[in-house]
Structure 1
Amino acid sequence: MAEHHTLNSDDVRRGEVIAHALELLEQADALLVAAGAGMGVDSGLPDFRGREGFWQAYPALARAQLSFQHIANPLAFERQPRLAWGFYGHRLQLYRRTQPHAGFQILRRWGEQRPLGLAVFTSNVDGQFQKAGYEQEPVHECHGSIHHLQCLAGCGQPIWPAEDFEPEVDTEACLLINAAPVCRRCGGMARPNILMFGDGGWRDERSAEQGECLDAWLSRSRRPLVIEIGAGSDVPSVRHFSHRLIQQHRGRLLRINPREPRVPGPLDLGFAAGALAVLRELDAARN
């Protein structure tokens, strides 16, 4: 006997939510992806949520009782350079070999269908958007990029790509085995061009230039939709950007966050789920 599915109140509610999401997308003249660490989880990247999550990813730092704030700090490169570069070298290797999940292409396809296209604002330093082919779109990496280096001593050398540096890391001890990268100008130690904790020496010109490009793109939009993914309130850079944008540009917000999905306005929408599952569901409903 054939099995029939009876539509219940949950199905009706889900259908209304999906319809609302598609309406938000279709009314937009521009799509802005605002991404935090949760964007990379479906690609297999850690999000370092909480001390226990961080220590699970780096057991050597757990044994030494070193927090993320301790190692993600410019002082760590002065006091424990092999450990600091062991941590960042491992992350550089991880991001280089990680393939972006299918949600990146779903978003890019949606953006291509909007009159003004697509742009990105992200606190992630992993370069996954560029790896996914976002070469023509404005991408603002507000905390910098692990794929670029700067002089630790601040000698004046401009930021340069890290492509020539191939780290060799003892993952058990979280220590760099080979030589750390050096400054092209003074020959001193280099560090990632990433905004760290307590970081007064971060060179922000690359990020600032990206921000200017994004602002110019946003100035043309009258109905932007922010799709915010995996951005929590612990490090609220992306959330602050999303809220500021919808206020200043009268945009709408679609938030995807399994732990903090609440949205500020009645016309906005939040999904308490991971990025890839929601993007696939919405994409299937559009087709």
Structure 2
Amino acid sequence: MTLVAILSGAGISTDSGIPDYRGPQGLWRQDPEAEKLVTYDFYMADPEIRRRSWLMRRALAARAAEPNAAHRAVAALEASGTPVRVITQNIDGLHQAGGLSARKVVELHGTAHRVVCTRCRARSSMADALARVEAGEADPACTGCGGILKAATVMFGERLDPRVLADATAITKACEVFVAVGTTLQVQPAASLAGTAVEHGARLIVVNAEPTPYDALAEETIREPIGTALPALLARIAGESRG
């Protein structure tokens, strides 16, 4: 059966109330200063940046985003029997919350649901860290070694985990269909996966509101809203896979 790889970016989660970053109404365009809150060097050097970053994460957590129709459509594709793997640039965990097996999701940029100590590398729950913020700790430290805590995400200025990137690359080279959805395909090395897929014989389908640098390589580009376009596309792919 056809192996389908899905590279998902921020655009797949906007219907869940999570803003994208680089779109016309993106967070970085509206508030360039906000980018400092997720830039490693600024975060590590400035307690005020860390305080603001924790407040931002507390506000995001309070929204309690839920999976939308696009996330559920990906899970439905898996449930149909079509082999599917998701490579996501998102840190929201909504693919898993939408019903997709966690082992079939490669989180390129980590997860916002965990925190990691920058000194001893111990991991713990984001919910526990935010509870400490709620209780009055502006910049909660690691309970084990006293080091600086950060979300278990890849900040600007940090490298991707090479093992995670290797997993994503292996999936990309093995798939027959590669769907890039809700991503500008501008952030490397994630964006280059689209080109790698084509080089290894996959059909590239781009579902995104704005043009991307890889549209010329795509067999199909879809500009319709993701919440309706992706379910229709994946239902079509499932039918082709069964055929």
Q: How does 1:39-78 map to 2 (within 5 A)?
A: 39-49=12-22, 53-54=26-27, 67-74=33-40, 75-78=42-45
1:123 and 2:89 aligned? yes
Q: What corresponds to 2:53 in structure 1?
A: 84
Q: CA deviation at 1:158?
A: 3.2
Equivalent position to 1:245, from 191, 197, 205: 197
Distance 2:24 2:43 in 1: 18
What secondary structure, in the 3-state scheme, does the structure 2 residue paired with 1:103 have? Answer: helix
What whole-Å deviation, never above 9, does each CA across 1:24-53 have from its counterpart, x for those lacking one? Answer: xxxx61111101111111222100236964
What residue is the counterpart of 1:111 in the other structure?
78
Q: By how many angstroms is 1:125 displaced?
A: 1.3
Per-residue displacement from partner, 1:112-137 (whole Å, max 9, x unpaired)?
Answer: 4455x111111111111122122344
Residue 2 of structure 2 is matched in structure 1 by 29
User: Does the CA contact (< 8 Å) of 1:35 and 1:120 recur in 2?
Assistant: yes
- The match for 2:116 among 129, 150, 164 is 150
- Given that residues 5 and 171 in structure 2 are in contact (C-alpha distance below 8 angstroms), is that contact kept between their aligned partners in structure 1? no
CA spacing shift, 1:45–1:264, aligned 2, 3 Å: same
Match of 1:101 in 2: 68
| 1:51/1:196 CA distance change after superposition, 3 Å | farther
- Pair member with larger Rg: 1
Aligned equivalents of 1:279 and 1:50: distance in 2?
19
TM-score between the two structures when normalised by the length of structure 1? 0.68
Q: In the superposition, relative to structure 1, how do residues 230 and 189 fare at CA in structure 2: closer, same or farther (>3 Å)?
A: same
1:74-117 Cα offsets, whole Å, 9 max, x none, are 323541121121123323433xx1111012121222234455x1
CA offsets 1:211-237 (integer angstroms, 9 cap, x no match):
455556567x4x521111111044344
1:194 aligns with 2:153: yes
2: CA distance, partners of 1:112 / 1:212: 26
Distance 1:84-1:218 versus aligned 2 partners, 3 A rule: closer
* Alignment-derived partner of residue 13 in structure 1: none
**Amino acid aligned to 1:73:** T
TM-score by length of 2: 0.79
Q: Secondary structure at the match of 1:238?
A: coil
Q: CA 1:158–1:209 in 2, change beyond 3 Å: closer, same or farther? A: farther
Unaligned 5+ segments in structure 2 are none
Give the CA RMSD over aligned residues: 3.2
CA contact (8 A) 1:35 1:238 kept: no
Identity within the alignment, %: 21
Measured after TM superposition, the shift of residue 181 of structure 1 is 3.4
Structure 1 segments unaligned to the other structure (5+ residues): 1-27, 170-175
**Contact in 2 for aligned 1:31/1:111 (Cα 8 Å):** no
Question: Between Structure 1 and Structure 2, how many residues are aligned?
Answer: 233
Residues of 2 paired with 1:108 and 1:274: CA distance? 19
Q: Are the counterparts in 1 of residues 9 and 88 from structure 2 also a CA contact under 8 Å?
A: yes
Counterpart in the other structure of 1:224: 176
Among candidates 175, 178, 183, match of residue 136 of structure 2: 178
Residues 9 and 89, structure 2, Cα contact 8 Å, conserved in 1: yes
